[in-house]
Structure 1
Amino acid sequence: MPSYRDLRVWQEAMNLAEACYRGTRIFPKEELYGMIAQIRRASASIPANIAEGYGRRTRGEYIQFLYIAQGSLKELETHLLLAIRVELASSQTINPILRSCESVGKLLLALIRALENK
């Protein structure tokens, strides 16, 4: 594989981050430095850690960054669920993003397992 940009998991993680940026545009402006920032930061961290891990020297380092990406994914899911609970956004807005989180999580897990079994 010539680049991390060719990885389906990275592409899907980028789509997820984009959806989070777009989805948080409807949040109240007073959340700009609160929930909006948290969701955007966590979502951007996922593809960034996949890319950073890909650029590391060893498979072990790569796997470690994939686990960090997985942690950011769980953080993102928590923020999204909280956004629904405190009524910053509707479940109709957030649920498609949560489904994308699930998809990215499965792809991350598959890549981690493939690398660990090499």
Structure 2
Amino acid sequence: MTTNKQKSRTFEDLQVWQEAIALAQKIYQITRESEDLSGDRSLVDQLRRASVSISANVSEGFERQRHSKKEYLRFLSIAKGSAGEVRSLLSVAHAVGYVDFKTFWQLREDALSVSKMLGHHMKQVERRIIATEKKNALAVRHRRSRYRSYPHQQAKAS
């Protein structure tokens, strides 16, 4: 695991990815252990897919970020949506009596924590995008101002 100041070399270094994997493990465990829940194949499938989608989108976006930070941000947004989907599906599982309140609440809090981590990570990526865009805009202005300083261009302007 890396600290906030260290640069992640792989998506496995990201704390948000690690927490998303831990959440998926817990979802798989509860969907295996709860007899009531395991009988509802549709809900189990949706819960599992949504929980796996979180880490999968973080990893896919991370691997694509060399080409586009905006694309990475899009994948993080999808992952955040999947975390919300997990919370919603857990609410359904609790409402219909498949999971007790304690289990529901703990898993909900875990999913909410991952969602908040994703939101924080998205803000960091957004700041990097803005910084890069400003840097590129300054570089373009600098190049343009250099061209205006050539004597032959000044003569045409007169």
Q: 2:112 aligns with which of 99, 102, 108?
A: 102
Q: 1:86 aligns with which of 85, 96, 117?
A: 96
Point out where structure 1 has 5 or more consecutive residues left out of the alignment: none
Task: Report deviation, 1:30.
Answer: 2.8
Point out where structure 2 has 5 or more consecutive residues left out of the alignment: 1-7, 129-158
Deviation digits for residues 21-70 of structure 1 (CA, Å, limit 9, x no counterpart): 001121434312x1111100000000000000001121000000000001
Scaled by the length of structure 2, the TM-score of the pair is 0.72
Q: What is the identity, as a one-letter code, of the residue corresponding to 1:117?
A: R
Scaled by the length of structure 1, the TM-score of the pair is 0.95
Once residues 104 and 28 of structure 2 are traced to their aligned partners in structure 1, the CA distance between those partners, rounded to angstroms, is 12
Q: Number of paired residues?
A: 117
Other-structure match for 2:134: none
Check the 8 A contact 2:54/2:82 in 1, yes or no: yes
Q: 1:19 aligns with which of 22, 26, 40?
A: 26
Check the 8 A contact 2:87/2:112 in 1, yes or no: no
Check the 8 A contact 1:53/1:62 in 2, yes or no: yes
Matched, 1:30 2:22: no
User: Aligned in 2, Cα 1:27/1:112: closer, same or farther, shift over 3 Å?
Assistant: farther
Q: Secondary structure at the match of 1:55?
A: helix
Q: What is the identity, as a one-letter code, of the residue corresponding to 1:52?
A: E
Other-structure match for 1:55: 63
Runs of 4+ in structure 1 deviating by more than 6 angstroms, as ranges, are none
Q: Secondary structure at the match of 2:39?
A: helix
Q: Secondary structure at the match of 1:117?
A: helix
Over the aligned positions, Cα root-mean-square deviation in angstroms equals 1.0
Larger RCO (CA within 8 A; separation ≥ 6):
1
Matched, 1:70 2:77: no
Percent of pairs with identical residues: 36
User: Aligned in 2, Cα 1:80/1:27: closer, same or farther, shift over 3 Å?
Assistant: farther
Bigger-Rg structure (1/2): 2
